[in-house]
Every structure is written in C-alpha cells, then in structure tokens.
C-alpha cells in the first residue's frame, strides 16, 4: 500500500537527521518520514577512529541553533545518558567523533519519523509531488528532501587496484585491516590523512613496518580556526555568498580552503610530539616519512605489492614509492545519487552536472515541472564552504522547513556576525556590472 507524506527525506546522515528532528514536533500538521538504507544510524562508520575529534563545537548539534528547547539537543543527550557532570569535568572544548555519532544515533532512534533498512531505488514525479520507490513498497510525498551525502573519491590511477590492499580511508575502521609488518602508503594530506597516519603510527592496526605519507599540499597545513574565519560559518555569510557571481564564488572558495580543509591544531601538535619523540629521543631507525608536495600520478602492481609514482609540485620530478597497502585519504566527491537517475530529465543542471539550489535549498526544475525538491550538501558552488559542514545543519534544515510550511515555524532571523559582508558583496556586483559594461 502506498503511504503519503507531506515531507519525505531520503538518507539519514546528520543533515536530514536535523530536518527530521525539527519536523518531529510538527507531525500533526506536517506528516514526515525520513528513510535510510543502513540498518542503523551510522556516521561515516569507517572513519570513526578511536578518539578522532570533531572539528566543530558540540553546540552545533542537530537542533540547538534554532530550537534550544528541543529534546534532541546534545546537552539533553548528556543529561539523559547520565554523563552531564563527568562531561563538564573533561576540561576539553571538543568532543570525539565517536561521542557525537553516539549522540546522533540517540536522536535518530527515538524520533517518530525515521525508518531504517529502506534504500530508495528510484524517484519519479507523481502529480504535484514525488513517488519514492523502495524494496518495501512505494511512498509518495508533496515535498522531498534529499540528504544522501557524498561518495568516496579515488584517484584515477588507483581505481584499477581498489580491493583488499588498496582502499579508501572511509572503509578503514570497518575493514580493521591487519597491517602488521606491512609497508603502508597513505595518500592525501588533509585531516583524514593525519588521523590515519596517527592511528597507524600508534599501532592501532598492528605494528606496521613502514609508513609513507604522500601529500600534494606544500606542508601539513593547519585548519584556519581564528574567530574571524569562523564568520564564514554563519548564516549571514552563507546568504551573501549565495548571491555572488559564480566566478567570484570560485575564487573565494579557493582562498577559504583551509578554513574547512586543514588539520586541527590539536592533531598537528599530537603528531609533531610523537614524531619528535620517535626521531630525536628514542632515535628509532627510520620507519616513516612525511612527503609533502608530491602528487600521486601513477600506480602499478608488481608481484610483491604496488609501485606508486609521484610528481613533485616544485620541480616536476618523478619518484617512486613501494607499498604493500595503500590507504586513499583523497576525500569525497559529489555526483547525483543513483536514485535520482529517473528524475534527471526534470532537473536544471549546470555544465558540471550540478543542481542549482536556491537560497532555501530548493532545486531548480526544468520548465513544466513544479515539484518541490530540496537538496543539502550538493557542493560548495551554491552556499560556499559551509555546505558540507555541520555548523549550519540546524539553520539549513529550519530554512527548508520554513519554506515548506510557508510559515516561520522556526525563528531563523539571526544576529549578524562581527564582519559586515554587505559592502563586500555589493562591491562584487559593481565589479560584475563593470565587467559586463566592458569598463
């Protein structure tokens, strides 16, 4: 039997979980269901490495920013799981990803509007809404919120070798590989590369023989976390960014890379102290190398493992590195999820096959289609570096819910940050006009 909902959500990562938690108190007026293919809530389970830390404050949880009185706050999780006082005595600003994941699972499994073990196979237009097909039957809705996340990115040259010994870091904790006595190459110099290096160094998967850590970046680069950088992660910046010219957005994003894509100070300090102790105090024979400024450009297999070719950014010189195991910490990419294949012809996509998302996260449809599809985490091209990040999860979900309900169910009017972006944005439109006018 087909069940009909006002709002259906596909995927239950943090972003749709926030929408589910904020819609839960309104189920009498806005019926909703959020379906997830996994049997239980799991947040990047292959990367839930022991003690890896969150890059964002636990106050930026699923609901607090727009509804601090919700039962689904991180603080309420601490109270209800009887660890509020021990938590406050930790003397730490950040929480581990394991603990934040446990909090999100606690939310997900008590909500009345979530359903697990329900992969969405395809979605088609259905009257003024959508039909969503799952192996358990069809669901229909007036509004659809897609929160299906990203896909692991593999460098092209590594793709033919992906398997038991060559894999993406997103599978590491799930595989629990036995790395005893192995020569391991880690590819990718961001936070994940650092977390993986640290865990291998500490022998979490057995005492490795040798680790080479290859990074295209010129050095181990820290996360830009100063309070003014943090202004990029606030609603007023996201709103003004959305209105910028696409070319301006592109240059802004390049400048802001380390605000979202660097390694935390804590992690860098921990790494440095380990390496200093190993090299200068214990005087261990060399068993690890950090290799910045090296891009992986080729890969071959040989009888006893793999040979990776790297190209130096500064000189263009090539070098080779041997490996028994290769762990790709090469990030995530965004392609339209497969379940949207049947809806593709209705979407207005740009030349890079990306959807165009308006200020309320509604996807622009082709002429003749008026269905209300909302998408989160579609890429930084619309709302900027904040898009794949948790900072605005609750605000973004509330923005969508307000747009769907047509009333301000949540007060998302916000105080402006300390920086006034309005002039910067208007200068950019003047520049755009000047360019158009040929000045």
Considering only residues 164 through 203, tell me which ones interact with ligand FAD, judged by CB under 6 A: 192
Sketch the per residue contact string, 388 through 427, with ligand FAD: x for CB under 6 A, - otherwise. xxxx------------------------------------
C-beta of 106 vs 311, nearer to ligand FAD: 106
Instruction: Return d(Cα 97, Cα 294) in angstroms, integer.
Output: 29
- Which one of the spans 38-46, 197-205, 343-351, 364-372 is the region binding ligand FAD (CB under 6 A)? 38-46
Give residues with Cβ within 8 angstroms of 271, minimum separation 6. 194, 197, 198, 220
Residue 132 phi, psi (nearest 5): -115, 120
> How near is the Cβ of 437 to ligand FAD at its closest, in Å?
40
Distance of CA 196 to the CA centre of its chain: 17
Q: How many residues bind ligand FAD (CB under 6 A)?
A: 33
Is-contact 377 385, C-beta < 8 A? no
> How near is the Cβ of 431 to ligand FAD at its closest, in Å?
31
Is-contact 81 106, C-beta < 8 A? yes
The angle, 0 to 180 degrees and rounded to 10, between the axes of the packed helices 265-276 and 191-201 is 30
With CB under 6 A as the contact rule, the residue among 25, 71, 119, 222 that binds ligand FAD is 119
C-beta of 294 vs 391, nearer to ligand FAD: 391
With CB under 6 A as the contact rule, the residue among 6, 7, 8, 11 that binds ligand FAD is 11
Written in H, E and C, the secondary structure of 176-239 is CCCCCCCEEEEECCCHHHHHHHHHHHCCCCCCCCEEEEECCCCCCCECCCCCCHHHHHCHHHHH
Across 406-423, b (16+ Cβ under 10 Å) vs e yields eeebbebeeeebeeebee
Polymer length of the chain: 439
Sketch the per residue contact string, 335 through 364, with ligand FAD: x for CB under 6 A, - otherwise. --x-x-------------------------
- Which one of the spans 40-48, 79-87, 280-288, 348-356 is the region binding ligand FAD (CB under 6 A)? 40-48
Task: Indicate whether 35 belongs to the interface with ligand FAD (CB under 6 A).
Answer: yes
- The 3-state DSSP composition of the chain as helix, strand, coil percent (nearest 5) reads 35, 20, 45
Closest of 302, 321, 303, 301 to residue 311, by C-alpha = 321
Task: Indicate whether 113 belongs to the interface with ligand FAD (CB under 6 A).
Answer: no
C-beta of 10 vs 409, nearer to ligand FAD: 10
Task: Indicate whether 375 belongs to the interface with ligand FAD (CB under 6 A).
Answer: no
- Which one of the spans 50-58, 160-168, 220-228, 355-363 is the region binding ligand FAD (CB under 6 A)? 50-58
> How near is the Cβ of 408 to ligand FAD at its closest, in Å?
24
Sketch the per residue contact string, 126 through 155, with ligand FAD: x for CB under 6 A, - otherwise. ---------------------xxxx-----
Is-contact 177 41, C-beta < 8 A? no
With CB under 6 A as the contact rule, the residue among 55, 330, 380, 399 that binds ligand FAD is 55
Secondary structure element (H or E) that encloses residue 265, with its range: helix 265-276
- Which one of the spans 37-45, 343-351, 405-413, 424-432 is the region binding ligand FAD (CB under 6 A)? 37-45
Residue 110 phi, psi (nearest 5): -110, -5
With CB under 6 A as the contact rule, the residue among 19, 20, 23, 54 that binds ligand FAD is 54
Binding site for ligand FAD (CB under 6 A): 10-16, 35-38, 43-44, 47, 54-56, 97, 119-120, 147-150, 192, 337, 339, 376-377, 388-391
């Amino acid at each position: 039997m087909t069940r009909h909902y006002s709002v259906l959500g596909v995927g239950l990562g943090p972003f749709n979980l926030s929408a589910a938690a904020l819609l839960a108190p309104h189920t009498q007026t806005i019926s909703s269901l959020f379906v997830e293919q996994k049997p239980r809530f799991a947040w990047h389970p292959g990367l839930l490495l022991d003690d890896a830390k969150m890059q964002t404050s636990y106050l930026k949880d699923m609901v607090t920013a727009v509804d601090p009185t919700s039962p689904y706050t991180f603080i309420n999780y601490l109270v209800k799981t009887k660890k509020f006082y021990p938590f406050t005595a930790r003397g730490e600003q950040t929480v581990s990803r394991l603990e934040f994941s446990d909090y999100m699972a606690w939310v997900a499994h008590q909500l009345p509007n979530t359903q697990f073990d329900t992969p969405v196979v395809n979605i088609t237009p259905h009257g003024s809404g959508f039909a969503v097909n799952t192996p358990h039957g069809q669901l229909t809705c007036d509004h659809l919120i897609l929160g299906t996340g990203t896909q692991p990115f593999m460098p092209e040259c590594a793709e033919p070798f992906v398997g038991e010994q060559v894999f993406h870091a997103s599978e590491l904790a799930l595989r629990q590989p036995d790395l005893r006595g192995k020569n391991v190459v880690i590819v990718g110099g961001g936070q994940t590369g650092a977390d993986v290096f640290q865990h291998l160094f500490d022998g979490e998967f057995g005492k490795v023989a040798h680790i080479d850590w290859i990074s295209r970046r010129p050095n181990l680069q820290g996360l830009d976390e100063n309070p003014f950088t943090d202004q990029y992660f606030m609603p007023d910046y996201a709103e003004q960014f959305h209105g910028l010219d696409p070319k301006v957005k592109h240059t802004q994003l390049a400048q802001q890379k380390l605000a979202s894509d660097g390694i935390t100070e804590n992690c860098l300090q921990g790494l440095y102290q380990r390496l200093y102790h190993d090299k200068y105090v214990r005087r261990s024979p060399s068993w690890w190398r950090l290799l910045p400024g090296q891009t992986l450009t080729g890969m071959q297999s040989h009888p006893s493992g793999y040979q990776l070719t790297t190209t130096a950014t500064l000189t263009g010189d090539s070098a080779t590195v041997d490996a028994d195991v290769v762990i790709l910490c090469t990030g995530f990419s965004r392609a339209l999820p497969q379940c949207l294949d049947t809806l593709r012809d209705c979407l207005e996509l740009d030349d890079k096959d990306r959807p165009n998302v308006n200020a309320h996260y509604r996807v622009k449809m082709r002429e003749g289609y008026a269905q209300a599809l909302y998408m989160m985490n579609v890429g930084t091209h619309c709302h900027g570096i904040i898009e794949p990040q948790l900072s605005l999860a609750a605000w973004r979900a509330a923005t969508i819910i307000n747009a769907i309900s047509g009333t301000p169910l949540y007060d998302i009017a916000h105080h402006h940050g300390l920086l006034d972006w309005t002039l910067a944005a208007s200068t950019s439109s003047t520049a755009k006009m000047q360019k158009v006018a040929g000045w």
